[in-house]
A = this chain, B = another copy of it.
Amino acid sequence: MKGKGDSGTQALDRALDLFEQVLRDRGRTPLARLAARLEIPVSTAHRLVAAFERRHLIARGARGHYLAGMGLADLAPDRRLVLIQASRPLLRRLARQEKRTAHLGILEADMVTYLVKEAGGGTKLFTRELMQLEAYCTGIGKVLLAGLEPAARERYLAGGPFVRLTATTMTDPAELRASLAEIACAGHAVDDAEMAEGLHCLAVPLHDGQGRVTAAISLTGEASPATEDARRALLDALEATAQAIESRLYG
């Protein structure tokens, strides 16, 4: 009848519809009105709310008003953990396929934290999971910086100094600012031995439901791709994986 993706869970779907309504409303609208909005009879709405209330997923406010229950706090997701577990299988596949090392990193206190490392080829890389590196000289770091709010980005740029690590490391804030703008526009970053000699890296951002950059993934190898076509193929695979992870996490 509905032709939607649901099948055999109409009751659960209706219950969760109401659940989400109640939580989002934050106790402003009486249950009867919320139920009407979803075309759920009051009688049924009460039965459903009671079921959630038993588990402390919903709490009672003033007469007719309900809100999020404290039980939800216990179930709240650890964003880092979810990010790690949801992305790892996809990064592993990508790394093996491209015979390079895949990373996922997030920005924490102006540093990049590597949450996932999946080695695909023989490359021996010094990175470890949970290791922190400077942001300005890594592909993932630059993508994350490029995704910051302008104010936060400027604060970072003012926070220097940016120590030279290789011949290609960017140490001038102005140069870095221009580079970040370009990265934000292009949607990906290149790290050509800026962090360590002989390391080439390609990185793209991960967005949350509202389009904010929350993490980034990268592919690292000992040499740049031989041809422009090879580079393009690498980027495509990386972006496809980014898409896949985003879709696992959000819509």
Which A residues have a C-beta under 8 Å from some C-beta of B? Answer: 5-9, 11-13, 15-16, 20, 23-24, 26-27, 47-48, 50-52, 54-57, 59-63, 65, 67-79, 81-82, 85-86, 88-89, 208-209, 248-251
Contact = CB atoms under 8 A, between A and B. Distances in A.
A72 B73 contact: no
12 contacts: A11-B11, A12-B48, A13-B51, A23-B77, A27-B85, A59-B249, A61-B86, A67-B86, A70-B77, A71-B250, A72-B77, A73-B77
Contacts of A74: 24
Nearest to A76: B76
Contacts of A13: 51
B61 A89 contact: yes
Nearest to A62: B89
A27 B81 CA distance: 9
Nearest to A5: B54
B77 A75 contact: no
Nearest to A208: B70
Per CB-CB distance, the 4 closest pairs between chain A and chain B, nearest first, are A68-B77, A61-B85, A9-B51, A23-B75
B88 A59 contact: no
Given A56-B250, A89-B61, A7 B68 contact: no
Given A15-B12, A51-B12, A75 B20 contact: yes
A16 B250 CA distance: 21
A6 B62 contact: no
Most buried by B among A9, A27, A63: A9
B75 A59 contact: no
A248 B23 contact: no
Given A59-B248, A59-B249, A76-B76, A68 B82 contact: yes
Contacts of A16: 51-52, 55, 57
Contact of A249 (B8, B56, B249): B56
